[in-house]
Each structure stands twice: as structure tokens, then as C-alpha cells.
Amino acid sequence: MSHRSATTEPNEPADLQPIADPASIAPTMRAAVARRYGNADVVAIENVPTPQAGKGQVIIRVEASSLNALDWHFLTGTPYFLRLIAGLRRPKRTIHGADVAGTVVAVGAAVTSLHIGDRAFGESAGGGCAPYLATKAEHLVPIPEVVSFQAAGATPVAGITALQGLRSHGGTRPGDHVLINGAAGGVGTFAVQIAKALGAEVTAVCSTRNVDMVERLGADHVVDYTTDDFVPGGARFDVMLDNVGNRSAADCVSVLRPAGRYVAVSGPKENRWLGPIGHLVRTRFAFRRTDATFHQFTASSTPEDLMFLGELLASGQVVPEVQRTVGLDGVADALAEIGSGHARAKIVVVPT
Ligand SMILES: NC(=O)c1ccc[n+]([C@@H]2O[C@H](COP(=O)([O-])OP(=O)(O)OC[C@H]3O[C@@H](n4cnc5c(N)ncnc54)[C@H](OP(=O)(O)O)[C@@H]3O)[C@@H](O)[C@H]2O)c1
């Protein structure tokens, strides 16, 4: 059992809370719950049973979670094919917040990687919008001592997506010129900083209100898509990380160097059953006639990538851009903002 001292969180007094005695945890807890598919107005605050640790699981006292477009898709059950895994008639996942950072307060059988009192973060199958969450221990890694719960809780889904898109699929190398379309959202604000950490020159695309933010995050060049267009500008890129999917394949090919890599993180929500799948298939096909390559992926959290992100956080090379922090009462509004398609950076949830 390892208890951290107050000196581990010098910048964040709110993190300095005593570790709970598992036996003292109340049998019920307040949570932001959505029992049916719908928009943000189906989210309600309820008292629900506090989870217990099954085999291979730990109970985390959630100090910070954050919301992602992923949570919006699970909330609305769209595109509809998602319901094949999320629940056909009603959602299996009733508490949103896949991102989690907190303190281990109980461990189930067969858990050896984490102990009561450990600070840990990672991507869960939802549940961060509640004070306690049960998740597989293998989904979590320790939070470096100098990293706050808020920073760790803002990172997993968006940070993993940006990292895997740029490094694993885009093959970003030092000196590459990277274009990030959709640089102001959760994935984009991590991508700008991770691309810089990988040694790239970064051109970021966002709207007027976010230009200053992405410059501050390290972008070398910014294209305000409300007044400018990156396609006819003449710049050529080694990697295009596309968090929006609003351009034609011909446009994307035209801005890439001959061996350039187009990485599709997202696509237009053109079909309520299949979402962007048709667009992605057409784009993949169009790339077959070019020297550039098409890469589409679904991010999948690994302990190695989480630990790599933890190192970037600890070194200060990546500082999650947190737009605001909300309590449980603010979860519905935060989800609605993400559903608008114009959320700015990260919204952190402190589930009290
Ligand atoms: N493949 C995967 O595994 C994976 C993983 C995570 C997320 N995703 C998907 O990736 C997308 C981005 O995720 P996210 O978490 O970053 O979403 P987000 O936080 O909701 O951010 C969306 C951002 O898109 C920007 N945007 C909207 N229209 C734009 C345009 N025409 N040009 C440039 N930027 C535009 C908005 O900025 P402005 O307000 O400045 O317009 C906003 O900041 C979502 O569709 C999500 O579902 C995929």
C-alpha cells in the first residue's frame, strides 16, 4: 500500500485528499446517468449502487474524468451501427466518461499491477461521471508523480488518438510537415503538441476564436478556415491528420507530398446508420491511384502508449488544454457542447 505525500501535487491542492478506507465507501453514490439513447437532456443525476471490484478489476475514486466525442456517440447511439455493441434497445453504458484519473481504493482478485493508494489513469468502458468506477486494472497505468489528476484525466482518449494517428499511422518523423485539420478540439489540441514533441513542423486548421490557442500550443502556422483555405495555398505536407473529414479526397491528395500519409481520424456524419464509413471507403479508393497513402484507424489504448503520454505530461512537452472543469451537474451541458461539433479543447469532469 503506497500513500502519496502532499508534495506530489504541488500545483493542485484539490488533489490532496486522504485515501479512503474501502470499508468506509458508501453503498450508493451520485452519478450523471443516461438510461436511454438521446441528446444531453436524457442525462440525469441519480443515486446508483457504488461499483465493486470483480476479478481483474480495481475501484478507482475518480478525481478527474473528461468527455470526448466518443461519449457523445454512446449517449446518442449514433451512428446506429454502434448499437450492435452499445446496446440495441437501450445503452449498456449508462454513466459516461471513458477517461479516468484517480486513486485506487479497492482491488479485485488477480490484480497485481496496482495497489490501494496508487494514482492511476487510463481509458475505461465509461463510468467517469461518478465518484467511483470499476475498471480492468490492465486499462490503467500509474500517473507520474508530478502530473496532476486533472491533466491525467484530460488525456487518455484524445491523447491516445492523437499519438497513434501521428506516430503509429502517420509515421511522423522529425522534420516532417504535419497538417492538423480540426486542431482546436480534444484530439487536435493534443495532436498539435504531440506533433511538436515528435519534431514536426505543424500547420493547424481551426476557426477564428481558436487561432490564439493553437498558436500558444505550439503550431508554427495556423489556417483560419473561416477566412482562408489550406488547399490552394501551395503548402505540401508529409502527414495530414484529419479530425474533421470535410474535404474531398482530391483536396487531401493535392496537399500531400508524393509519399505523404493521410490519416483519417474522423469523417463527415453523412449517414445516420453508418456515419462516415461510405466517405472513408470512397477516400481510401481514391488514394489507391496516388503515391500518397490512406490510413484510417480506431484508437486503442495500450499501457505503453499511456505511459508514453504520461512521460510527455511529466516533461511538460504536452500540457492538456482544459477549457473548463465541471461537476456532475455540468455533464449534460458539456456533452451538448461536444455534440455541437465545436467544442474547444477539453472539458474535465470532477465528479463531486
Ligand atoms: N478514429 C478514432 O479512433 C477516433 C478517436 C477519437 C475521436 N475520433 C473522432 O475525431 C473527431 C474529433 O474528435 P475530438 O475529440 O477532437 O472532437 P471535439 O473535441 O468535439 O472537437 C471538434 C473540433 O472540430 C473543429 N472543427 C469543426 N469543424 C471544423 C472545420 N470545418 N475545420 C476545422 N476544424 C473544425 C472544432 O473547432 P472550431 O470550433 O474551431 O470549428 C472543434 O474544436 C470526432 O469526430 C471523433 O468522433 C475518432
Q: What is the DSSP string of 115-146?
A: -TT-EEEEE-SS--SSSEEEEEGGGEEEPPTT
Taken in order 309, 314, 318, 324, the sign of the CA dihedral is positive
CA of 56 to the centre of ligand 1 (A): 34
* Neighbour tally for 295: CB within 10 Å: 18
Give the ligand 1 atom nearest the CA of 205: 33
Residues of the chain with pLDDT > 70, as a percent, come to 93
Residue 263 region by backbone torsions, left for phi larger than 0, else alpha for psi between -120 and 50, else beta:
beta
Residue from 161, 230, 241, 247 whose mutation best tests the ligand 1 pocket (most atoms within 8 A of CB): 161
CA of 68 to the centre of ligand 1 (A): 9
Residue from 180, 181, 246, 266 whose mutation best tests the ligand 1 pocket (most atoms within 8 A of CB): 266
The per-residue pLDDT for range 300-335, each reduced to its tens digit, is 999 999 999 999 999 999 999 999 999 999 999 999
Q: Residue 152 has what pLDDT?
A: 98
Give the ligand 1 atom nearest the CA of 264: 1
Q: Residue 43 has what pLDDT?
A: 98
pLDDT band at 8 (very low <50, low <70, confident <90, very high): very low
Distance CA 212, CA 209 (A): 7
The per-residue pLDDT for range 113-154, each reduced to its tens digit, is 999 999 999 999 999 999 999 999 999 999 999 999 999 999
Give the ligand 1 atom nearest the CA of 210: 40
CA of 187 to the centre of ligand 1 (A): 7
**pTM given for the model:** 0.94
